[in-house]
């Protein structure tokens, strides 16, 4: 079995893949089914009863197998019970209708009668409830699309003061058709204002929405049994934790293709959010990173092929279909219509697909001659290492190749070069490091400690294994500063947490790291059934272990806290493990015995914090950043948007101005391609490192003992 420690397996392979979720948010309305003529494009649309898929012959067997494997292999050892059942219902409903725009409250009340029976039905291979819910959902989609098309033939008043709720947690299901109709009138007003902000209005905007709604309706009507089974069983597995999922046969084939050969694409990790395709990460070294325009939180609204291919509207399109449009052979061109940060005018990014080169996503180092602002005459040589992932050439290691590539080997080479040039300290930047190989996290920690436990792993049976650095000696025993952010996850957290527990160095950055302290494995169901994988029954990705630091604390949810916190926009983004539904709790295991280095004296850390806060308060760029962070939080917490055109456009103008500054900030924080980006945030990290080196020397602690 394969294990990995990243928040998403896609990042591990540094290719363009994404968590596949069929949940989409539509902007349509509710009424009764009927025949509707689409005036704008003269398309006849019959919204009569849909012919929906029925369970395949293998589906009951797959359901029973998932019901058996989850309790047996999941780290929680939780049985498939009523609690899981209730969670699964909520997740399944959310996967279909995340913004509560289709189902009526009466539908939900009816479904709740089975809320404690899903566990029993799945164990028996009974999928009738999934098809009952899905059938009702398609009926409601038909009704709403029918009315949406009618409303698009009418007029809207954009001068009145009314709001649309944009926070799914702040809204409820409509009680009746009248309430649903009013809600969808507002949805269409919002969509028309949004398109007007992009420069599309009148007949063009209405025609675009008609096509969007019809495509959305057709997409659900065409859903096959494999896709529905994946949604339903994934709701069951994600009721255990957010990283356990069921892959349909098609999804497993896609995964295998990625594993075998597909390193071509734009190098971006995508996710679905409320019907939109959102960039969750730009992978260092990839085509998008080289292009330099695509950023975290950007929304992709259209995709075009080559120089002149038509731009295909992808709003409401299934994420796996979007990925299929964007991915392609290295050297070919893809054009992305992008809303920076999800707001404002659409920008067209022309990106040349490329194969991600390891050299560009591998460890890189640079020596920086640094002086403190109040003492420019005194300089120190600080070795800066940028490590975007914990990587290892698995095939080379397996075949005992002498020169196989790994993050530890590359960092060791950089450190040896640093030492020949007389550095005073090292800054290891893990702020964009999403994780990778657990073995590499252990080996890399060993470069900075003599020997001892690095991580503890708890299994599904409750047993705890300890993984040690067994190689005596260190590559660097001087001052060490580790940079982290909310994007630092899994293997990064193991490394940073071990450095903290050993009191070997200090951590600087966001208040906490990502907080993913679990590891998943992929179980081929064909192998489980027949001891071979020739029959494709899909696969189960299940969380089977949890990580713990040497002192016994888990990185799960809590992450690794920084010794010195710096202001950043990333700290306020909802991208951590704790933002996910049903994330596993944080707990402890017994501490492992290990050496403690005396390189984090409390008095020195207190002084570093105070001095850093003083510099930040006097730094104009940090002051401006704090204002942007405050505005970002205010806007993020807004649960509604005005549909008065004047107010809507004024807010968009304000957002556009702010986004320009935020993009510069995010580019510096998470999108930099240089080894070291010389800007105010990184300069403050070096200020802290400089003072840390001085402070250790004054206390005769500059070398690990």
Q: Tell me the domain boundaries of the chain.
A: 58-240, 262-357, 360-518+543-616+676-699
Q: Point out which residues pair with 259 in neighbouring strands.
A: none
**Count of Cβ atoms closer than 10 Å to residue 307 Cβ:** 8
Residue 396 buriedness (CB in 10 A; 0-12 / 13-18 / 19+)? middle
Q: Match 């994007």 to its residue by tokens.
A: 487
The pLDDT value given to residue 660: 58
> Can you give the pLDDT at residue 33?
29
C-alpha–C-alpha distance, residues 302 and 539, integer Å? 31
Beta bridge partners of 507: 482
Rounded to an integer, what distance in angstroms lies between the CA atom of residue 301 and that of residue 322?
A: 10
Residue with tokens 């089974």: 229
**Per-residue pLDDT, 290:** 85
How confident is the model at residue 661, as a pLDDT?
58
| Residue numbers of the chain with a pLDDT score lower than 70 | 1-50, 255-264, 274, 356-361, 532-533, 656-673, 704-705
Question: Does the CA dihedral 132-134-136-139 come out positive or negative?
Answer: negative
CATH code assigned to 360-518+543-616+676-699: 3.90.226.10
Supply the pLDDT for residue 260: 43
How far apart are alpha carbons 57 and 63 in whole angstroms? 11
Give the integer Cα–Cα distance in Å for 243 and 239: 10
Closest Cα partner for 559 from 468, 629, 481, 496?
Answer: 496
Residue 657 has a pLDDT of 58
Quote the DSSP letter at residue 250. H
Burial grade of 662 (CB within 10 A; 0-12, 13-18, 19 or more): buried
pTM for this predicted structure: 0.79
Label residue 157 exposed, middle or buried (CB < 10 Å: 0-12, 13-18, 19+).
Answer: exposed
Pick among 2.60.130.10, 2.30.42.10, 3.40.228.10, 3.30.2000.20: CATH of 262-357: 2.30.42.10
Q: pLDDT value at position 15? A: 24
């Amino acid at each position: 079995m394969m294990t990995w420690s990243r928040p998403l397996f896609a990042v591990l392979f540094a290719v363009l893949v994404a968590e596949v979720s069929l949940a989409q948010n539509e902007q349509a309305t509710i009424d009764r089914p009927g025949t509707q003529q689409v005036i704008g494009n003269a398309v006849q649309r019959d919204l009569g009863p849909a012919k929906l898929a029925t369970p395949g012959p293998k589906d009951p067997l797959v359901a029973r197998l998932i019901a058996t494997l989850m309790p047996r292999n999941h780290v929680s050892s939780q049985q498939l019970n009523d609690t899981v059942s209730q969670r699964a219902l909520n997740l399944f409903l959310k996967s279909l209708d995340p913004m509560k725009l289709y189902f009526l409250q009466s539908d939900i009340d009816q479904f709740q009668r089975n809320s404690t029976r899903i566990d029993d039905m799945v164990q028996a291979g009974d999928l009738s409830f999934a098809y009952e819910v899905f059938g009702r959902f398609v009926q409601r989609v038909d009704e709403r699309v029918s009315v949406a098309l009618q409303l698009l033939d009418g007029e809207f008043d954009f001068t009145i003061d009314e709001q649309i709720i944009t926070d799914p947690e702040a809204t409820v299901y409509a009680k009746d058709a009248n309430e649903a109709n009013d809600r969808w009138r507002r949805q269409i007003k919002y969509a028309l204002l949004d398109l007007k902000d992009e420069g599309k209005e009148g007949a063009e905007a209405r025609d675009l929405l008609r096509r969007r709604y019809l495509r959305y309706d057709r997409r659900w009507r065409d859903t096959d049994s494999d896709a529905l089974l994946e949604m339903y069983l994934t709701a069951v597995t994600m009721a255990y934790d957010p990283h356990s999922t069921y892959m349909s046969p098609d999804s497993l084939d896609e995964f295998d293709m990625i594993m075998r050969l597909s390193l071509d694409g734009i190098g971006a990790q995508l996710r679905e959010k409320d019907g939109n395709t959102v960039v969750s990460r730009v992978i260092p070294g990839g085509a998008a990173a080289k292009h330099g325009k695509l950023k975290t939180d950007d929304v992709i609204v259209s995709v075009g092929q080559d120089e002149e291919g038509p731009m295909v509207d992808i709003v409401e399109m299934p994420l796996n279909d979007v990925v299929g449009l964007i991915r392609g052979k290295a050297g070919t061109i893809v054009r992305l219509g992008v809303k920076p940060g999800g707001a404002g005018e659409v920008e067209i990014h022309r990106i040349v697909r490329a194969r991600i080169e390891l050299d560009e996503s591998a460890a890189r180092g640079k020596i920086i001659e640094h002086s403190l602002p109040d003492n420019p005459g005194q300089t120190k040589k600080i070795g800066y290492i940028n490590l975007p992932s914990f990587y290892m050439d698995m095939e080379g290691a397996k075949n005992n190749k002498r020169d196989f590539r790994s993050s530890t080997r590359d960092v060791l080479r950089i450190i040896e070069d640093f030492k020949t040039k007389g550095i005073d300290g090292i800054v290891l930047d893990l702020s964009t490091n999403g994780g990778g190989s657990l073995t590499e996290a252990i080996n890399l920690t060993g470069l900075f400690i003599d020997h001892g436990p690095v991580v503890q792993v708890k299994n599904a049976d409750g047993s705890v294994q300890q993984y040690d650095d067994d190689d005596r000696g260190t590559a660097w025993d001087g001052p060490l500063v580790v940079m982290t952010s909310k994007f630092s996850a899994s293997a990064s957290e193991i490394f940073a947490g071990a450095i903290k527990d050993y009191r070997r160095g200090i951590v600087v950055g966001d208040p906490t790291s990502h907080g993913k302290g679990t590891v998943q494995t992929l179980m081929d169901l064909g192998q489980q059934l027949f001891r071979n994988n020739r029959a494709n029954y899909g696969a189960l990705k299940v969380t089977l272990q949890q990580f713990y630091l040497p002192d016994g604390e888990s990185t799960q949810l809590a992450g690794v806290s920084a010794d010195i916190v710096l202001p950043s926009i990333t700290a306020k983004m909802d991208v951590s493990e704790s933002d996910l539904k049903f994330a596993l709790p944080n707990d402890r295991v017994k501490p492992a015995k290990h050496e403690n280095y005396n390189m984090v004296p409390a008095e020195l850390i207190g002084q570093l914090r105070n001095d850093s806060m003083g510099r930040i308060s006097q730094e104009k760029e940090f002051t401006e950043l704090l204002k942007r962070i405050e505005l970002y939080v205010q806007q993020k917490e807004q649960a509604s948007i005005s549909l008065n055109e004047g107010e809507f456009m004024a807010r968009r103008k304000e957002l556009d101005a702010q986004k320009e500054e935020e993009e510069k900030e995010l580019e510096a924080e998470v999108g930099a391609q240089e080894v070291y980006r010389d800007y105010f945030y990184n300069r403050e990290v070096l200020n802290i490192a400089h003072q840390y080196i001085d402070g250790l020397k004054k206390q005769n602690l500059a070398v690990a003992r």
